[in-house]
């Protein structure tokens, strides 16, 4: 940590306020300003195209004998939520689904209930989890499926162990779901979501989960600032008993 004099820190902050990089929100309290958001948007403009990230999604469909696949990206405008950045689905997929793809997104807006949300949740910074009012370290909660209950904690532990989350009917009744986190270097950016109909022959939960994790890894590599380099080590934040190295989330 840099040992800066208080007066130097004050001048830096005041300069940042004037440029819009910081915004003062109280006595001695600052947050990133609109200019910081512009810098972030400029960085995102250099991200791979939707077509580029769709290729791993198509490979995921082929590896698991079909089923719609989505890349759900985190967005912060209007509150923390997910939006569909890319997809790989056929006309037959749409006919089988009782809801439109937007319904898949709606099911994941509660991060503790949707499969993609649970794949992302362990890697969100603490301030984002506070905004969502989810305690991922609690041992119990109020009611089935409530944030912090034993079922949620078990699901998050699975993300830590295997690198993906599994769901049954959260996104759509009659469909199993698999989701794995996508990263931009060390920052969580979203998740790959695969849906499989319960009634159709399945290649197996482990195969679907591993294929989903592999697709998420390929997209993370596309997003990496050094695609040819060693993947960054990604460890779940603030979760006891989860080892990111065993999860296959880092190498």
CATH code, 201: 3.30.450.40
In a domain, 142, yes or no: yes
In 10 A of CB 140, how many CB atoms? 10
pLDDT confidence bin for 98, thresholds 50/70/90? low
Domains in the chain: how many in total? Answer: 2
16 vs 96, more confident: 16
Q: Is residue 229 part of a domain?
A: no
Residue 107 in domain: yes
Q: Which of 42-56, 138-152, 208-222, 233-247 has the lowest mean pLDDT?
A: 233-247
Q: Are residues 189 and 205 in the same domain?
A: yes
For residues 87 and 26, membership in a common domain is answered with no
Can you give the pLDDT at residue 240?
Answer: 38
Is residue 56 pLDDT above 90, yes or no?
yes
- Residue 147 scores a pLDDT above 50: no
Average pLDDT over all residues of the chain: 74
Residue 31 pLDDT > 70? yes
* Helix, strand, coil % over all residues of the chain, rounded to 5: 40, 20, 40
pTM higher than 0.75 for the full model? no
Whether the pLDDT of residue 142 is over 70: the answer is no
185 and 95 within one domain: yes
Residue 191 makes CB contacts below 8 A (sequence gap 6+) with 71, 72, 82, 116, 117, 119, 120, 179, 180, 181, 182, 216
Residue 28: predicted pLDDT: 83
Task: Please report which confidence band the pLDDT of residue 69 belongs to, taking 50, 70 and 90 as the band edges.
Answer: very high
* Pairwise pLDDT comparison (250 vs 164), residue with the higher score: 164
79, pLDDT greater than 70: yes
Q: Are residues 53 and 34 in the same domain?
A: no
Query: Given pLDDT bands bounded at 50, 70 and 90, which one contains residue 2?
Result: low
Whether 25 and 136 map to the same domain: the answer is no
Q: Are residues 143 and 205 in the same domain?
A: yes
Note whether 18 and 85 are same-domain residues. no
Q: Is the pLDDT of residue 49 over 70?
A: yes
Residue 110 within a domain: yes
User: 138 pLDDT band (50/70/90 cuts)?
Assistant: very low
Say whether both 21 and 113 belong to one domain: no
Together in a domain, 93 and 170:
yes
User: What domain range includes position 192?
Assistant: 47-223
Q: Reply yes or no on whether the pLDDT at 178 is more than 90.
A: yes
Are residue 53 and residue 135 in the same domain, yes or no? yes
| Residue 63 belongs to a domain | yes
Which comes out higher in pLDDT, residue 53 or 104? 53
Q: Are residues 148 and 31 located together in one domain of the fold? A: no
Tell me, yes or no, whether 243 lies in a domain: no
Answer yes or no: do 95 and 194 share one domain: yes
| Range 101-115 average pLDDT | 64
Most confident of 16-30, 222-236, 237-251: 16-30
State residue 225's pLDDT score.
Answer: 65
- Residue 238 maps to a domain: no
- Tell whether 233 is covered by a domain: no
């Amino acid at each position: 940590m840099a040992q800066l004099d208080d007066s130097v820190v004050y001048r830096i902050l005041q300069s940042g306020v004037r440029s819009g990089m910081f915004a003062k929100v109280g006595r001695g309290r600052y947050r990133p300003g609109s200019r910081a958001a512009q810098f972030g948007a400029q960085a995102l403009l250099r991200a791979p195209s939707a077509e580029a990230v769709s290729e791993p999604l198509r490979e995921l469909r082929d590896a698991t004998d079909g089923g719609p696949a989505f890349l759900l990206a985190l967005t912060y405008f209007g509150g923390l939520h997910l939006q569909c950045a890319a997809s790989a689905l056929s006309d037959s997929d749409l006919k089988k689904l009782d809801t439109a793809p937007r319904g898949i997104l709606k099911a994941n807006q509660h991060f503790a209930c949707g499969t993609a949300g649970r794949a992302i949740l362990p890697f969100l910074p603490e301030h984002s989890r506070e905004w969502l009012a989810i305690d991922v370290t609690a041992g119990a909660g109020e009611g089935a499926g409530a944030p912090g209950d034993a079922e949620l904690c078990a699901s998050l532990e699975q993300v830590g162990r295997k690198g993906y989350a599994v769901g049954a009917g959260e996104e759509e009744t009659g469909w199993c779901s698999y989701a794995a986190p996508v990263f931009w270097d060390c920052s969580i950016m979203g998740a790959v979501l695969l849906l499989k109909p319960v009634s159709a022959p399945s290649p197996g939960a482990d195969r679907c989960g591993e294929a989903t994790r592999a697709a998420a890894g390929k997209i993370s590599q596309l997003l990496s600032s050094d695609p040819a380099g060693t993947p960054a080590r990604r460890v779940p934040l603030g979760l006891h008993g989860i080892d990111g190295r065993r999860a296959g989330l880092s190498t």
